[in-house]
Amino acid sequence: MMISQRLRLCAHAAAAASVFIVCQPFAGAQGVATTAAATQPWADLRFDFGPGKAKPGHTAVSADTAYSSERGYGFDNGVVPTGVESGGDDPATDGLVASERPFFFSVKVPEGNYKVTITFGDPKGESHTTLRAETGRVMAADISTAAGEIVTRSFIVNIQKKTLPAPPANAPGWPEVHMFLPSEPTSRRWDEKMTLAFNGARPCVSAIEITRADDVPTVFLAGDSTVGDPHQGHGGNWSTQIPQYFKPDVAISNNAEGGETTKSFLTGARLDKILSQMKPGDFLLIQFAHNDSKKQWPQSYTEPATTFKAYLKVYLEETRRRGGTLVLVTPMERRSNEDSVGPWARAMREFAEVEKVPIIDQWTVSKQMWTALGPKVGSAFSDQTHLSAYGGYLLSKVVAEGIKKNVPELAKYMFDDFQPLDMNNLDQRPGYLSQPTGVPR
């Protein structure tokens, strides 16, 4: 019996919570499988952009190549970049695509982890690129090159689909994750495509290579809307901005969604989805409380001292028996900076101490931060609970620093030059926060 169904039965008994690149195997590109990865071996994908000769082994993509499901790749969402002929005899750099606004390129890929290697720069001019993946996750905040400078950077991107493995004959089980928000089923998160967003002052891209990365550890994220990828706009949340601090040696898979609680995440098969993919050496970071605390939601409310801790225990044991590591992240406090989720944060600290679980105390630091911001605290929020892009940036630093201090086995995958937040200089903001993203949900 799936864990979500076991929890539903237990609950019932107790009663008697830019540039986008979209990537999928397609016909017609050199060396690419044409059917699902489950039945066909994977073949690496290589694209050469802009005018000029295609680099050997690469699929040529001109600026006017529009995406279609039949072709399986192309520029998407009606945004057409500019093809730039840079000259020279090297097919790797004799052409590129550039733009002064976010543009999209799509290629379908199966579910899994992928290493994406991108060539940036322009032999004749400067380039400035911010790279986002999927529903706006920041992979690199500013990749800048001088005229004539060409750089190659790699990233790990996780692709999800909503279906679960079919249960054995006569065994109970759910076919897919339960979604109750109307906007979620059509989200790019579930479209079985890789979506990379290139934006900035002048993003320039000449080549992309996509390879499978099945062996890298995966960091799964579970939580509510204060962890999930925002539904539109720049978006806040630490989860959206923390990928930029990690080397291309680990994948981040954000499974959080609005409205969820420790209980509903289980009963809606979201934990089942994570567990179906978890392997030894993976991590599960969980942050709940904002909806667990709502007594007006009787089917998903949890008491901090009892049922909340009981559900945390399920997450812990299910993770441990698969060889993974559970990490608790206490919820950030709301804009009012009172004690709205404090009881659940304290329950997490108590649970972590008893069960010897690593914990990142975001709640305590967030209260200090909102106090330090004073009358400017509103700039960190989009409403009374949810964060702005600036607020998400601040807390991404808090969570990343918590990983550095308390989760050394995960911290080793972070860039060595990571800079912690300066609590005395909270007004300092990276430039990418003010850039238009063009990111659809």
- Per residue, the 3-state secondary structure of 83-137, as one string, reads EEECCCCCCCCCEEEECCCCEEEEEECCCEEEEEEEEEEECCECEEEEEEECCCE
| pLDDT recorded at residue 187 | 85
> Is the CA virtual torsion 338, 344, 350, 352 positive or negative?
negative
- Pair 229, 200: CB distance under 8 Å: no
CA proximity to 226, closest of 388, 35, 408, 436: 388
- What is the number of other CB atoms lying within 10 angstroms of the CB of residue 146? 10
Pairing state of beta strands 218-223 and 251-254? parallel
Q: How far apart are CA 267 and CA 89, in angstroms?
A: 59
> What does pTM read for this prediction?
0.90
Residue 66, beta-bridge partner list: 75
Task: At 191, list the tokens.
Answer: 């479209």
| pLDDT recorded at residue 9 | 42
- CATH class of residue range 18-214: mainly beta
3-state class (DSSP) for residue 396 = helix
- What is the number of other CB atoms lying within 10 angstroms of the CB of residue 196? 27
Which alpha helices (H) appear in 323-361, and where do they start and end?
Answer: 342-355
- Pair 199, 435: CB distance under 8 Å: yes
Name the DSSP letter for residue 339. Answer: S
3-state class (DSSP) for residue 53 = coil
Distances (CA, A) of 166 to 82, 111, 161, 173, 175: 45, 15, 14, 7, 7
Q: How far apart are CA 243 and CA 153, in angstroms?
A: 14
Task: At 242, list the tokens.
Answer: 């923390």
How confident is the model over 49-75, as pLDDT tens digits? Answer: 999 888 899 999 999 998 888 888 888
Q: How far apart are CA 59 and CA 74, in angstroms?
A: 11
How confident is the model over 301-333, as pLDDT tens digits? Answer: 999 999 999 999 999 999 999 999 999 999 999
pLDDT in tens, the chain (441 residues): 555 554 544 444 343 333 444 444 443 343 333 333 444 578 999 999 999 888 899 999 999 998 888 888 888 888 899 999 987 777 777 899 999 889 888 889 999 999 999 999 999 999 999 999 988 899 999 999 999 999 999 999 999 999 999 999 999 999 999 998 888 888 888 887 888 888 999 999 999 999 999 999 999 999 999 999 876 544 579 999 999 999 999 999 999 999 999 999 999 999 999 999 999 999 999 999 999 999 999 899 999 999 999 999 999 999 999 999 999 999 999 999 999 999 999 999 999 999 999 999 999 999 999 999 999 999 999 988 889 999 999 999 999 999 999 999 999 999 999 999 999 999 889 999 888 776 655
In this structure, which CATH number among 1.10.287.110, 3.40.50.1110, 3.40.50.2300, 1.20.1260.10 belongs to the domain 216-441? 3.40.50.1110
- Per residue, the 3-state secondary structure of 245-286, as one string, reads HECCCCEEEECCCCCCCHHHHHHCCHHHHHHHHCCCCCEEEE
Give domain limits for the chain: 18-214, 216-441
- Pair 25, 109: CB distance under 8 Å: yes
